[in-house]
């Protein structure tokens, strides 16, 4: 363990790329098939939430109880549609100034991890060509407990060889900020400060995060 060394953990959707719009389209398609009303506002509640839990919420919205086999089939259908929507993603979909921050941190030689609920994180990072910046990926395939449980970030800290209290997490979801706080890490909310009011720091996006702020986190 490198005590005192700062580790940086990035969430994926809403922090690095805006895949929420593709998740919305895929959930909306399934909801329409099932006759369940699903709006972009409803999609807000799906941010940072596991695929499995999202389908449970959707079925609760439609008052539907289904067999395990049907549940799995719909889960697979949603993901196939989602994969079709993200097939054409490229680096133009990276959110503003994220590469600048990653480049700066790389230059400082600090360990960087991904901490995402998505099971599609690796192919997405590959598509937008940011994979080389990450020392390790912890995603929906490696966790058993969803955010706000701190598991995803604690595994990331362990893999980086950094103490949890020396880790900084960038997150756009309320559950993600809670997970970071539960892990004893410094939490940085990306998005609406009123919604992410439990974060230690708040920024609208990475254009507001200057290199001085990043360097201060290293001290």
Catalytic site positions: 11, 13
29 binds ligand B16 (CB under 6 A): no
Judged by phi (left if over 0) then psi (alpha if -120 to 50, else beta), residue 180 lies in alpha
Decide whether 89 or 211 has the Cβ nearer to ligand B16: 89
Q: At what angle do helices 68-86 and 51-61 cross, to 10 degrees?
A: 110
Q: Does 51 bind ligand B16 (CB under 6 A)?
A: yes
Residue 173 in contact with Mg ion, rule: CB under 5 A: yes
- Residues 13 and 152: their CA atoms lie apart, in Å, by 15
Tokens read off for 203: 């920024």
Asked if 198 touches ligand B16 (CB under 6 A), the answer is no
Q: What is the 8-class DSSP label of residue 54? A: H
| CA dist., res. 204 & res. 192, Å (int) | 6
With contacts defined by CB under 6 A, name the span among 44-52, 105-113, 179-187, 199-207 that binds ligand B16: 44-52
Among 6, 116, 181, 186, binds ligand B16 (CB under 6 A): 116
Asked if 140 touches ligand B16 (CB under 6 A), the answer is yes
Residues that bind Mg ion (CB under 5 A): 11, 13-14, 48, 172-173
């Amino acid at each position: 363990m490198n005590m005192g060394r700062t580790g940086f953990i990035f969430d994926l959707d809403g922090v690095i790329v805006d895949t929420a719009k593709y998740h919305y389209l895929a959930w909306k398609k399934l909801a329409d098939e099932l006759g369940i009303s699903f709006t972009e506002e409803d999609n807000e509640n799906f941010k940072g939430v596991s695929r499995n839990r999202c389908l449970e919420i959707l079925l609760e919205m439609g008052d539907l109880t289904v067999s395990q086999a049907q549940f799995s089939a719909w889960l697979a259908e949603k993901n196939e549609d989602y994969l079709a929507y993200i097939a054409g993603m490229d680096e133009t979909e990276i959110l503003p100034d994220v590469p600048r921050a990653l480049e700066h941190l790389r230059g400082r030689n600090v360990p960087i991890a991904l901490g995402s609920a998505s099971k599609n994180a690796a192919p997405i990072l590959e598509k937008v060509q940011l994979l080389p910046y990450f020392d390790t990926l912890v995603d929906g395939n490696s966790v058993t407990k969803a955010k706000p449980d701190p598991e995803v970030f604690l595994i990331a800290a362990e893999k980086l060889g950094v103490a949890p209290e020396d880790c900084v997490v960038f997150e756009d979801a309320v559950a993600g900020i809670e997970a970071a706080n539960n892990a004893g890490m410094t939490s940085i909310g990306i998005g609406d400060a009123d919604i992410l009011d439990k974060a230690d720091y708040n920024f609208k996006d990475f254009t507001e995060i200057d290199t001085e702020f990043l360097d201060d986190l290293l001290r």
